[in-house]
Amino acid sequence: MIRLLSILFLLLTIPAPASASYAERAEVQAFVAEMAARHGLDAVRLTALFERTQPLPGVLKAIAPPADPKARSWQAYRARFIEPRRLAAGRAFRQRHAAALAKAQALTCVPAEVVVAIIGIETYYGKHLGRFDAFAALATLAFDYPPRAELFRRELEALLLLAQAEGRTPDGYRGSYAGAIGLPQFLPSSIRSYAVDFDRNGRIDLTGSPADAIGSVANFLAEHGWECGGPVAIPAKLGAGGAAPESLLAEGILPLRRPEEMAAFGVEIPAAAPDAPAALIDLATPDAATEYWLGYRNFYVITRYNRSSFYAMTVFQFARELESARRAPASQ
C-alpha cells in the first residue's frame, strides 16, 4: 500500500507538459547555452529547433510506472515475445542474415541467436521501430519528467552530437517514446559509443542496415563484458526449510555468489551448475509459483541492454528456442 501511494504521489508531482514551445523556458535556454559553450553548437539554430518543438503527452503516459507494480507478470511478459509468429520471424531473419551473424559471432563471441533474439524483442525485426520524433520525445523527458530528467538530458545532448556527426537535423530521427532508435533500439549515447559500420559502406545505419544492427548489438554486449562460452542462466529451487531468499534477492542481479554460498542460503543447486558467481533471480507471476533462476555474468550483461530481469530472461529463452529449432533434424 505504501509503495502504491508513493507511485501515485510521483505521478501527481509530474507536471503536465505546457502547450507552448520549449524555447521560452529558462531551463531550455540554459541547456542551449551549455550546448553552444561545450560543443560549439549553433545557439540560434538550436533555439529555432526548440521553438518548433512541443511536449508530447503520449511520451509521459508511456513512461509512467504501473499503478500496481505487483501486477507485473513474468508469464504474461514472456508470452508477448516468445510466441510462434515472432519465433518464425526470428528463424527467417537468422537465415537471411546468416553471414553477418556468423561474422559478428566470430568477432565478439556473442552467439548469433542472442543477437537475433534482442532484435526480435526490440522491434520485431523492424516492424515496430517507434512512432515518435526522437528529439521531441527526449526533450519531453528531459524537461517534463523530473524523475529521470538528468538521464534524458544526457541522451538529448547525445542526439544533438549524433546529428552533428551524421550531418542530419536533430528532429529527423524516429524512435520509441524514450528516444531509442533503429532495429536494436539504441539510445543516442549507445549509438555514439557502440554502433558500428558492419556492412562497411562508410556510414552507420541502424534502421536500414540489418548488418549494422547485428554488428552493433554484438559489439554492445561484448563491450559490456560478454564471456565467451559462458553460461547465462539455469533453473534453481528453494530447499524445504531453507533460509528465506530475501537477503539474496536484495543483492540484486550482479553475480556475486558461487554454488556453495547459494546452498548456504537454502537454494538447491543443480549438479550441473557451473562453479561460477551467480545471482538469484526471481520471476514472479500473480497467483502462480515464482520461478527462481541463477543468473551468471552473461545474464547480467544482457541487463545492461535493458535493466529488467524479465527482459534478460526472455532474451535467453528466445535465443534458446531459436537454437533448438536450428539444431532440430530437418524431418521434424
Residues 90-147 pLDDT 10s: 999 999 999 999 999 999 999 999 999 999 999 999 999 999 999 999 999 999 999 9
Which amino acid is located at 317 in the chain?
Q
Q: Look at 214 and 326; give whichever has higher pLDDT.
A: 214
Q: Is the pLDDT of residue 150 over 50?
A: yes
Give the per-residue pLDDT at 19.
52
Which of 24, 34, 113, 122 is the catalytic position?
Answer: 122
Q: What is the mean pLDDT of residues 151-180?
A: 97
Q: Are 288 and 78 in contact (CB under 8 A)?
A: no
Give the per-residue pLDDT at 69.
63
38-42, 71-75, 247-251, range with greatest mean pLDDT? 38-42
Give the per-residue pLDDT at 9.
40
Distance CA 122, CA 90 (A): 12
Give the per-residue pLDDT at 272.
86
Give the per-residue pLDDT at 65.
83
Widest pairwise Cα distance in the chain: 68
**For helices 43-51 and 26-39, what crossing angle results, to 10°?**
150
- Alpha-helix residue ranges (DSSP H) falling in 173-209: 188-194
Mean pLDDT of the chain: 92
Q: Is the pLDDT of residue 311 over 60?
A: yes
Count CB neighbours of 37 within 10 A: 10
Q: What is the mean pLDDT of residues 229-253?
A: 85
Give the per-residue pLDDT at 10.
45
Give the per-residue pLDDT at 330.
58
- Cell numbers for 65, please give them: 510506472
> DSSP state, 174?
E
Per-residue b/e over 271-303, b at no fewer than 16 CB within 10 Å?
Answer: eebeeebbbbbbbeeeeeeebbbbbbbbbbbbb
Give the per-residue pLDDT at 119.
98
Residue 122 bears catalytic tag: yes
Q: Look at 241 and 239; give whichever has higher pLDDT.
A: 239
DSSP string, 225-292: TPPTT---EEEEEEPTTPPPTHHHHHT-SS--B-HHHHHHTTEEPPTT--SS-BEEEEE--TTSPPEE
- Cell numbers for 70, please give them: 505487483
- Alpha-helix residue ranges (DSSP H) falling in the chain: 2-13, 26-39, 43-51, 57-63, 74-81, 84-96, 98-108, 112-123, 134-144, 149-166, 188-194, 210-223, 246-250, 259-264, 297-305, 309-327
Q: What is the mean pLDDT of residues 272-286?
A: 94
Q: What is the three-class DSSP state of 326?
A: helix
Q: Which of 52, 67, 57, 51 is nearest to 16 (CA)?
A: 57
* Long-range contacts at 124-128 (CB < 8 A, ≥ 24 apart): 124/86, 124/89, 125/89, 125/90, 125/93, 125/183, 126/183, 126/207, 126/210
Q: Which domains does the chain have, with CATH numbers?
A: 16-54+130-181 (1.10.8.350), 233-327 (1.10.530.10)
The percent of residues in the chain predicted with pLDDT above 70, rounded, is 91
Q: What is the mean pLDDT of residues 248-260?
A: 93
Give the per-residue pLDDT at 245.
79
| pTM (two decimals) | 0.91
Give the per-residue pLDDT at 70.
64
Please report which confidence band the pLDDT of residue 71 belongs to, taking 50, 70 and 90 as the band edges.
confident
Distance CA 276, CA 22 (A): 51
Q: What is the mean pLDDT of residues 201-221?
A: 98
Give the per-residue pLDDT at 332.
47
Instruction: Find the range with the poorest average confidence among 17-21, 61-65, 131-135, 198-202.
Output: 17-21
